């Protein structure tokens, strides 16, 4: 195979090159500003990169769910550790968007129309995979049949938390029956019986080490999810103040309400029960 004087392979085709493998032609052509303002490129790339990280999160969370369903907790530890690092990337990249000032954003905000990050299909998929279910939100995706079908399926399927509770029940732990079989499309409601199960795990870590480790990994995921949301609120507040959001929400006020959502409530409650 032909090489240059430094040993680099030079006989490349679109199929064997770095750019070909990563489909860079398509990826780098996907930034299409609708205005002539310099800073719109930042706004587009920021959100596209976030969508790529979210794609990886979905890939990993679906794998974790499959492992728990098959009674394999150990592989989930590596998977959720990776999810945590992806969440860290999503959190840190808000600092790039925060270099966009209010006067710069207003120059091109109008070209967005009703488009809003809250319409992200992948973000909604992550919420459903983590158990934050809301059937009404699927209406936003009626214009996109594949996304609507995928979200409808996720809505009706057990979340990662649901599958973990079912795993614990299969291991003989007294998880309340109404948390093992229920209408998965409905939001999760916490139960004192689940808190009691987690208390047993936390007070007997040597006996239930894998389950204990899984609990802590889930706490990591929720904490980072909430930190991401908080940073989102502060970034929006910094750039647009208290103006309405482009998607029709009240903006910062709406985003602040999302901070009240608890994904795995008993994993917080159990901390109060441990003496």
**Domain boundaries along the sequence of the chain:** 42-272
44 is in an annotated binding site: yes
Q: Is 65 annotated as a binding residue?
A: no
**Per-residue confidence (pLDDT) for residue 3, from 0 to 100:** 54
Count, residues in the chain: 275
- Which residues are 3's β-sheet partners? 9
Q: Is 201 annotated as a binding residue?
A: no
Predicted local distance difference test score (pLDDT) of residue 263 = 95
Q: Rounded to whole angstroms, how far apart are CA atoms 49 and 62?
A: 20
Per-residue pLDDT tens digits of the chain, which is 275 residues long: 565 566 666 676 766 788 998 999 999 999 999 999 999 999 999 999 999 999 999 999 999 999 999 999 999 999 999 999 999 999 999 999 999 999 999 999 999 998 888 899 999 999 999 999 999 999 989 999 999 999 999 999 999 999 999 999 999 999 999 999 999 999 999 999 999 999 999 999 999 999 999 999 999 999 999 999 999 999 999 998 988 887 878 788 888 888 888 999 999 999 999 98
Write down the residue that tokens 């120059």 correspond to.
107
CATH number of 42-272: 1.20.58.480
The reply to whether 45 sits in an annotated binding site is: yes
* DSSP state letters, the chain: --B-TT--B----TTTSHHHHTTHHHHHT----SSS-TTHHHHHHHHHHHHHHHHHHHHHHHHHHHHHHTT--HHHHHHHHHHHHHHHHHHHTHHHHTTS-HHHHTTTGGGGTT--GGG-HHHHHHHHHHT---GGGGGGGTT-HHHHHHHHHHHTS--HHHHHHHHHHHTT----GGGTSS-TTSPP---HHHHHHHHHHHH-TTTTHHHHHHHHHHHHHHHHHHHHHHHHHHHHHHHHTTPPPTTSS-THHHHHHHTT--SSHHHHHHHHH--
The annotation status of 246 as a binding-site residue, yes or no, is: yes
**Cβ(160)–Cβ(83) under 8 Å?**
no
Residue 232 labelled as part of a binding site: yes
Tokens 């966009």 belong to 100
* pLDDT on residue 104: 96
Task: Determine if residue 43 is labeled as part of a ligand binding site.
Answer: yes
Burial of 252 (0-12, 13-18, 19+ CB in 10 A): buried
Can you read off the two tokens belonging to residue 185? 């499309």
């Amino acid at each position: 195979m032909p090489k240059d004087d430094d040993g680099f392979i030079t006989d490349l085709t679109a199929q064997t090159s770095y750019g070909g493998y990563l489909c860079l032609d398509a990826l780098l052509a996907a930034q299409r500003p609708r205005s002539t303002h310099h800073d719109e490129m930042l706004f587009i790339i920021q959100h596209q990169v976030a969508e790529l990280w979210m794609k990886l999160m979905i890939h990993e969370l679906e794998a974790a769910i499959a492992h728990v369903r098959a009674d394999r907790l150990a592989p989930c530890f590596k998977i959720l550790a990776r999810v945590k690092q992806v969440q860290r990337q999503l959190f840190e990249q808000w600092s790039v968007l925060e270099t966009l000032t209010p006067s710069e954003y207003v120059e091109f905000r109008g070209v967005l129309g009703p488009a809003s990050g809250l319409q992200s299909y992948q973000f909604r998929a992550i919420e459903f995979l983590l158990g934050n279910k809301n059937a009404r939100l699927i209406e936003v995706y009626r214009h996109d049949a594949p996304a609507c079908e995928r979200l409808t399926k996720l809505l009706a399927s057990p979340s990662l938390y649901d599958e973990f509770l079912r795993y614990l029940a299969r291991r003989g732990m007294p998880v309340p029956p109404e948390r093992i079989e229920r209408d998965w499309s409905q939001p999760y409601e916490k139960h004192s019986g689940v808190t009691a199960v987690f208390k047993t795990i936390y007070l007997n870590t040597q006996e239930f080490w894998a389950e204990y480790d899984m609990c802590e990994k889930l706490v990591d995921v929720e904490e980072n999810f909430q930190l991401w949301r908080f940073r989102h609120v502060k970034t929006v507040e910094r750039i647009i103040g208290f103006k309405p959001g482009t998607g029709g929400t009240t903006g910062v006020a709406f985003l602040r309400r999302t901070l009240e959502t608890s994904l795995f409530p008993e994993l917080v409650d159990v901390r109060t029960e441990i003496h």
